[in-house]
Amino acid sequence: MAVIEHTVLQFSTSSSSSLSAKVHPLVIFNICDCYVRRPDQAERVIGTLLGSVLPDGTVDIRNSYAVPHNESADQVALDIDYHHNMLISQQKVNPKEVIVGWYSTGFGVTGGSALIHEFYSREAPNPVHLTVDTGFRNGEGTIKAYVSVNLSLGDRQLAAQFQEIPLDLRMVEAERVGYDILKTTMVDKLPTDLEGMEASMERLLALIDDVYKYVDNVVESRVEPDNNIGRFLLDAVASLPKLSPTAFDKLVNDSLQDNLLLLYLSSITRTQLTLAEKLNTAAQVL
């Protein structure tokens, strides 16, 4: 009996169901900057995304660069030479970052996207397509990531479908820099050590106040108690180690003394420096 080959209309999925992408804030910043600096007539900017694929299949997008392109009604011409030159330069600095996909500004996927996506499929296996809505078309800056799924009939390829994948914004670096600096258009002065500390303390105080208020409200049954919040609070309180007062005093005092000693030492060094300078200049007057 001959084997009947079934011709099936199918999506060739390559484990894209579990795929997700992580975007670092630098990429968003870079895209925005390129968009602001785009040529006069250009509607959008297109560029290459660099990064790596983590062992669990997550695409880690860490860097990007814009690629000049020409766009007419039904045609997109990408400057492929530029793309390759830039890639070589980027890899000189960090060979671990490879092409993981491409980005485009604008809302969602457009017709030309399939062509560009095909180009990038040749550069990287299963590229990610990131769209950043710099026009705020529906009132918010939508950032979405897609992978392409081929729709094929037997061996014949019919179309490509863009499937949205979950996107995780890795804001830890941005947090380290401080949102205060990144959110506003102009910051006159970088916060110093102590100012930063002050801000942190204020935030901590505000948080403690919030907790107090919440607990008071629950106790006086103004607010429905939430067991989850209760457990979190319990954990927080329990995370303070139980120490006998004498042991704790010793701990704190020792640290204080250490710090004081260091301060003393550094002050002495400074005095020494000033003294040495004075002596050196005095010694010259012979």
Partner 1 sequence: MATPVARSFLQVAATEEVASPLRVVQIEGLVILKIIKHCKEFSPALVTGQLLGLDVGSVLEVTNCFPFPIREEDEEIEADGANYQLEMMRCLREVNVDNNTVGWYQSTLLGSFQTVELIETFMNYQNVIELDNILVVNAIKSTFVCPSPEKLDSLKITTSAHESSLKFRKRAVQGIGNKGDGCVKEAISYSRENIRRCVCIIYDPLKSNQGVLALKALKLSDSFMELYRTNNFTGEKLREKNLSWVDIFEEIPIKVSNSALISAFMTELEADTPVVQCDYDRLQLSTSPFLERNMEFLIECMDDLSMEQQKFQYYYRNLSRQQSQQQAWLQKRRAENMARKATGEEPLPEEDPSNPVFKPLPEPSRLDSFLITNQISNYCNQINGVAGQSFSRLYLTKALHEN
Site for partner 1, residues 205 to 244, rule: CB under 8 A:
206-207, 210, 240, 243
Tokens of 129: 């397509």
Question: Of 10-29, which residues contact partner 1 (CB under 8 A)?
Answer: 24-26, 28-29
Q: What angle, 0 to 180 degrees and rounded to 10, lies between the N-to-C axes of helices 227-238 and 193-219?
A: 130
Residue 65 or 146: which CB sits closer to partner 1? 65
* Residue 35 is a binding residue for partner 1 (CB under 8 A): yes
Please, is 104 exposed, middle or buried when counting C-beta atoms within 10 Å of its C-beta (0-12, 13-18, 19+)? buried
**Does 108 contact partner 1 by CB under 8 A?**
no
Residue 34: both structure tokens together? 């390129």
Distance of CA 264 to CAs 157, 201, 252, Å? Answer: 76, 26, 18
**Alpha-carbon gap, residue 231 to 210, rounded angstroms:** 16
- Check: CB of residue 77 under 8 Å from CB of residue 112: no
Question: In the set 77, 182, 234, 275, which binds partner 1 (CB under 8 A)?
Answer: 182
Which of the ranges 111-119, 158-166, 200-208, 220-228 carries the binding residues for partner 1, by CB under 8 A? Answer: 200-208
* Contact pattern for partner 1 over residues 56 through 95, marking x by CB under 8 A: ------xx-xx-x-------------x--xx--x--xxx-
Q: Decide whether 140 or 220 has the Cβ nearer to partner 1.
A: 140
Q: Does 48 bind partner 1 (CB under 8 A)?
A: no
CB 193 within 8 A of CB 44: no
171 binds partner 1 (CB under 8 A): yes
- Residue 85 CA, chain-centre distance (Å), reads 26
Looking up tokens 């830890």 gives: 172
**Binding residue for partner 1, selected from 181, 219, 234, 275, defined by CB under 8 A:** 181
Contacting partner 1 (CB under 8 A), which of 2, 4, 36, 238?
Answer: 36
**Interface region with partner 1, contact rule CB under 8 A, candidates 31-39, 52-60, 109-117, 216-224:** 31-39
